[in-house]
Chains A and B, each alone.
Chain A
Amino acid sequence: QVQLKESGPGLVQPSRTLSLTCTVSGFSLTSYGVSWVRQPPGKGLEWIAAIWSGGSTDYNSALKSRLSISRDTSKSQVLLKMNSLQTEDTAMYFCARCLGEGYVMDAWGQGASVTVSS
């Protein structure tokens, strides 16, 4: 059974760095890619970044200077770091499995809520 589960701090102070973890089961990170997508409260979806089965990465150019995506295949985890957080980064952050490199997201985690506030 394919599962993804996001975890993170919940509350982050402005200007600090956000670290999120996506722990997957039911598939291998060396066979599938994983993307991160966020959704501000009551708003639409924004794709953030992806790491592919071979370890290569892609980033949303609007956020790239603040982002880092990596993985630990031994732990089946994908890590997302975003620095210089602002209140507009408050959102639900989802990780999702990608069927192939550059291809559709077919399974999603439940999401991790992140609030940026002092």
Chain B
Amino acid sequence: DIQMTQSPASLSASLGETVTIECRASEDIYSNLAWYQQKPGNSPQLLIYDANSLADGVPSRFSGSGSGTQYSLKINSLQSEDVASYFCQQYNNYPWTFGGGTKLELK
């Protein structure tokens, strides 16, 4: 199975700040990577797919980048509604696997 290592596990940032979350795959996943946002008590919502494509309806302050085994999610100008957990997921190989998650809080 492909292991997805996400960092940091938790993050505290101020409103308006830029935040970056990293995800490392145990082998090349050829940009077959998605990022999801999950708010407390809710289901995950797709933010980014194919490593850098913005899902429908997602604000442009979210962006994804990376290739090979290293990927990142960037949130520009942090808003209060961005407080959530974020997960990366590879869909290059079965079983699909997720990173452990990053919990983003406001400072």
Contacts and interface: CB of A to CB of B under 8 A. Distances in A.
A66 to B, nearest CB: 14
Interface string B41-84: 01111100110000110000000000000000000000000000
Contact of A110 (B1, B43, B101): B43
Given A44-B100, A61-B95, A108 B49 contact: no
Contacts of B42: 110
Interface stretch (B11-19, B22-30, B86-94): B86-94
A117 B39 CA distance: 27
Contact of B44 (A46, A62, A103, A108): A108
Contacts of B49: 99, 104, 106
B75 to A, nearest CB: 19
A109 interface: yes
Contacts of B55: 106
A79 interface: no
27 contacts: A37-B44, A44-B87, A44-B99, A45-B36, A45-B87, A45-B101, A47-B98, A58-B94, A60-B94, A60-B95, A61-B1, A61-B95, A62-B95, A94-B43, A94-B44, A104-B34, A104-B49, A104-B91, A105-B34, A105-B89, A106-B46, A106-B56, A107-B46, A108-B43, A108-B45, A110-B42, A110-B43
